[in-house]
Amino acid sequence: MFPVARAAQSLVARGIQHTTVRQAHRKHEPTFHDKYGTMVLLGGAAMFSAVWGYVFTTLKIEWGFSPVGRITPSEWRE
């Protein structure tokens, strides 16, 4: 390997090592997602369930999907 390339490679490697050491010693500050992520997720799931539960219980939905035996033809009028 050429001496210039070897020197450039060692400089890049040393820079990466300094960056990782600096980040490892820094204190981790909790972000919004660290603080409230689970609560937001649970709140959204509860809201979703409540809204769809309300919709399904107030609509007049017949849960039998087959109309066989339920629909009788009406008499034809002329």
* CATH number for position 41: 4.10.51
Q: What would the pLDDT profile of 8-20 be if each residue is shown by its tens digit?
A: 677 677 777 777 7
* Structural domain that includes position 5: 1-56
Q: What would the pLDDT profile of 1-57 be if each residue is shown by its tens digit?
A: 577 777 667 767 777 777 777 666 666 788 888 889 999 999 999 999 999 999 888
> Residue 69: left if φ>0, alpha if ψ -120 to 50, beta else—which one?
left
Considering the domain boundaries, does residue 74 fall inside one? no
Considering the domain boundaries, does residue 4 fall inside one? yes
Residue recorded with tokens 């409540």: 50
Q: Total domain count for the chain?
A: 1
Residue 40: CA count within 13 A, CB half-sphere: 6
Considering the domain boundaries, does residue 6 fall inside one? yes
Q: How far apart are CA 48 and CA 41, in angstroms?
A: 11
Give the pTM. 0.43
